[in-house]
Structure 1
Amino acid sequence: MLSRGLTMGVFAVSLLAIVAFTLGDASLLWPYTCYGQWQRFGSHCFNFDTTPRSWTDAEQYCRSLDAHLASVHNWEEFKFLEKLTGGSTITWIGGNDGGRPEITQHRTWSWTDGSSYDYHEWAEGEPNNYNGVREPCIQMNFGDEHRWNDEVCEKQFASVCSRIY
């Protein structure tokens, strides 16, 4: 019985030491690391690639890295991606309107990673299917305010991939 009590005491002291150490360094609360060109934000790692690709090819490239084109869910993540991409390079992200050309006024947007489309940073007047041309894919860093624009998916731009760690 003494052995069990001693074991529980050692466990309790160890647990307290771990908690004290962890609280001293908030980065230890999320112990996963992004390697190489990948940059961490929250529970995701992001990779910015300047190689010009169509939106579809960019998504396929991301999938080859076990990732998807990036989804954006809040202002902080938007600002992180703006900084990661240099803020001036037009860049594909993972938003699209589901490939439904009959939708023009009330488009339904979604992310390639399947997460909920719960945030947006459209530039003023966007999305707009400019000049009546179908624009079902989202690019970021558009215009003076570096917001989002709907664009023709076949155009070639840089891209940013995201994966969970």
Structure 2
Amino acid sequence: MVSGLKLIPLLCLTSGLWAAVVYGNHSGSCKTCPSGWTQFDGSCYMFHFRDMDWADAERYCTTVGGNLASVHNKEEYTFLKTTLQAVAGKQLAVWLGGYDAVKEGVWLWSDGTFFDFKLWFKGEPNNYTGHENCMEMNFRGREYVNDSNCNVKRSFFCEKRL
């Protein structure tokens, strides 16, 4: 047995899905998403139809305990696209949590996680108008991750870690 480390596998029924949970020196309860949020890969996500500029969308997400969604792999990106299609019935352009407003070309996630995103559309980000500092997915309704003007009003995804 590993000294000082207790690993007890548990199975929890969360939102109708079975998930493996590892018990260490934490509460033995299973972490689940609040009502209205959808769980995926250790985070909870909520889509908001209400159009806001990027800063107001980020502020809203912080009031519900999260940030605009960050995307760290293809599976997470696919999950967001699939969720958006199911909820909205089409691929709307939506805000994600990426931005380079502090320094042009240095992209950050609003949740503070490491920016490792590699799924930009060809030629993006390009700061086309000189004022494109915020990340959107589904630009013009296509599978197209783009840098956009932060003042444009869009729907958005909030994310909070479990």
Give the TM-score band, short-chain normalised: 0.7 to 0.9
In the alignment, what sits opposite 2:116?
A: 118
8 Å Cα contact 1:138-1:150 kept in structure 2 = yes
- What do the CA deviations read for 1:110-131 (whole angstroms, capped 9, x no partner)? 000000001232112211122x
Aligned to 2:70: 71
- After TM superposition, the runs of 4+ consecutive aligned structure 1 residues lying more than 4 A away are none
**3-state SS in 2 of match to 1:99:** coil
Q: Which residue of 2 aligns with 1:150?
A: 147
Residue number in structure 2 paired with 1:163 = 160
Q: Distance between the aligned counterparts of 2:18 and 2:154, measured in 1?
A: 36
State the secondary structure of the residue aligned to 2:113: coil
> Matched residue of 1:40: which SS?
strand
- Whether the aligned pair in 2 keeps the contact of 1:85 and 1:91 (CA below 8 Å) is no
For 2:106 and 2:77, how far apart are their aligned partners in 1?
Answer: 20
**Higher strand proportion (structure 1 or 2):** 2
The CA RMSD measured in Å over matched residues stands at: 2.2
Q: Give the drift of 1:143.
A: 4.5
Aligned to 2:33: 34
Rounded to whole Å, the distance in 1 between the matches of 2:32 and 2:42 is 10
AA matched with 1:74? N
* Structure 2 contact 137–144 (Cα < 8 Å) conserved: yes
How far apart, in 2, do the equivalents of 1:115 and 1:61 lie? 19
Matches of 1:85 and 1:148 in 2, distance apart?
Answer: 14
Aligned partner letter, 2:131: R
Greater per-residue helix proportion: 1
Structure 1 residues without counterparts, runs of 5 or longer: 1-17
1:141-160 deviations in Å (ceiling 9; x for gaps): 12564131100000000010
Q: Considering only CA atoms, is the larger Rg found in Structure 1 or Structure 2?
A: 1
Work out whether 1:93 is the aligned partner of 2:90: no
Contact 2:139 2:145 in 1 (8 A): yes
Match of 1:135 in 2: 132
TM-superposed deviation, 1:26: 5.2
Tell me the CA shift for residue 42 of structure 1. 1.2
- CA–CA distance in structure 2, aligned partners of residues 136 and 99 of structure 1: 9
Give percent identity, aligned residues only: 35
**Counterpart in the other structure of 1:5:** none
Partners of 1:144 and 1:61 lie apart in 2 by 24
What is the SS of the residue equivalent to 2:132? Answer: coil
Q: Decide which moves more: 149-158 or 25-34.
A: 25-34
Q: Which runs of 5+ in 2 are unaligned?
A: 1-7, 12-16, 23-29
